[in-house]
Every structure is written in structure tokens, then in C-alpha cells.
């Protein structure tokens, strides 16, 4: 039988890590001296190096751990814990997406093409993006699409004129895709 391998690394006195090696395997000064622990490194698959090398006492793991206990206040130093917030405003209303104002169009005819929808909505302004979802099995439109305008005024005029109008002899419903919190937010939309 081959020599038995001890999978528990032997730890000597705790030594602080340099900023240069950051406890990573293969980093200059953090490697064991040549010949000192070569058998241990080979025998256990480099587990000692993966755990941050020698000098660390058992139990403490994780990136950036340097032997001391981490206080809760220390976790949120700097920008950590500072989050951006979205201005909700006092009243509900349309919410701009990252790139523009998006409308949700429902009850789109299954045989409608992108060109049909683009022609109808481009009368109210430049359509920045049009997303029509298709059924994988049939290849027909699923019944809704998303139309994006650059300007809020263009999108609002499209809603005012197109909501309740016909597209390929089928009544469509047009509304804002994203709404701010406030009165009415989270309420189910009315059905026609």
C-alpha cells in the first residue's frame, strides 16, 4: 500500500499575510519555501494552498479574512451598503425604462407582422424598439408586444389614439408597460 497522506495541514504560529500575496495560491511570498512542504502540497492536491497557505488557524474561511473577527460596522465601510434609489414620486404614473418609454400592447392578432405594428405606431413618433414575442410551436404572435418610444409625449399620444383601436380587424389595448408606485400601483388592470 502507498504511503498514507495526511489531509490535515500542519499549522505553525499565526503569521499575518502581506498585501502582496493576499493569501492566494501561486502568489510570490505566500508560497511555501522550496522543499519544505512539497510533499504536503502534492499529497493533498494543493488543499493547503487553496485554503490560504500556512499561518491561518482552522475554521476561518472566505475571501479577505485575515484572522480577526469582522464587526458588523466593518462590513459597510466605504460605498458598501449604500444603495441607489429610484425617485418614486408622490403619485402613480408611467415609469421610464433605462432607454425610453415602453408601451404594452395586448390582444395583438396572431398573424400580425412586425411591419404591421411598426407602421401603425410610427404615426405617433419614432419607434425606438419593437419586441414581438412568437409562440415557438406555431410561429404566430403570442398576443402581445412591447413598443418603445424615445419621448414620453409620443408614447402618450400613441396610447390615447391606439387604445381600443383595431389592428388587423382586432381591438387592441395599449397601456404603459411600467408604472410608478402610488395610487393604483399593483392593482389588476381593467379588462376590455
Rounded to 10 degrees, what is the CA torsion of 25, 31, 36, 38?
30
CATH of 96-179, one of 3.30.70.330, 3.40.50.1820, 3.40.640.10, 3.90.1200.10: 3.30.70.330
Q: What is the pLDDT of residues 16-50, one digit of tens each?
A: 555 555 545 444 444 444 444 444 444 444 454 44
Is the pTM above the cut of 0.85?
A: no
Q: What is the pLDDT of residues 77-135, one digit of tens each?
A: 666 666 666 555 556 789 999 889 999 999 999 999 999 999 999 999 999 999 999 99
- In the chain, domain spans: 96-179
SS3 call for 69: coil
The confidence score (pLDDT) of residue 59 equals 64
Q: How far apart are alpha carbons 135 and 177 in whole angstroms?
A: 21
Q: How far apart are alpha carbons 159 and 146 in whole angstroms?
A: 12
- What Cα–Cα distance (Å) separates residue 23 from each residue in 7, 26, 48, 112? 19, 9, 11, 60
Q: What is the largest CA-CA distance in the chain?
A: 85
62: exposed, middle or buried (C-beta count within 10 Å: 0-12, 13-18, 19+)? exposed
b/e map 73-92, b = 16+ CB within 10 Å: eeeeeeeeeeeeeeeeeeeb
Task: Report which of 68, 55, 62, 54 is spatially closest to residue 14, judged by C-alpha positions.
Answer: 55
Amino acid at each position: 500500500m502507498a504511503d498514507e497522506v495526511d489531509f490535515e495541514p500542519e499549522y505553525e504560529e499565526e503569521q499575518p499575510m502581506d498585501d502582496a500575496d493576499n493569501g492566494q495560491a501561486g502568489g510570490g511570498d505566500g508560497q511555501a519555501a522550496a522543499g519544505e512542504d512539497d510533499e504536503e502540497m502534492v499529497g493533498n492536491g494543493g488543499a493547503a494552498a487553496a485554503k490560504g497557505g500556512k499561518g491561518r488557524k482552522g475554521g476561518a474561511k472566505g475571501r479577505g479574512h485575515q484572522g480577526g473577527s469582522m464587526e458588523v460596522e466593518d462590513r459597510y465601510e466605504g460605498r458598501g451598503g449604500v444603495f441607489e434609489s429610484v425617485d418614486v414620486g408622490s403619485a402613480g404614473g408611467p415609469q421610464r425604462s433605462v432607454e425610453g418609454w415602453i408601451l404594452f400592447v395586448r390582444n395583438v392578432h396572431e398573424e400580425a407582422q412586425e411591419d404591421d405594428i411598426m407602421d401603425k405606431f410610427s404615426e405617433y413618433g419614432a419607434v425606438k424598439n419593437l419586441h414581438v414575442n412568437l409562440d415557438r410551436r406555431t410561429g404566430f404572435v403570442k398576443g402581445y408586444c412591447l413598443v418603445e418610444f424615445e419621448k414620453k409625449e409620443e408614447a402618450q399620444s400613441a396610447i390615447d389614439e391606439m387604445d381600443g383601436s383595431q389592428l388587423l380587424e382586432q381591438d387592441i389595448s395599449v397601456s404603459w408597460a411600467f408604472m410608478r408606485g402610488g395610487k393604483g400601483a399593483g392593482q389588476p388592470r381593467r379588462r376590455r
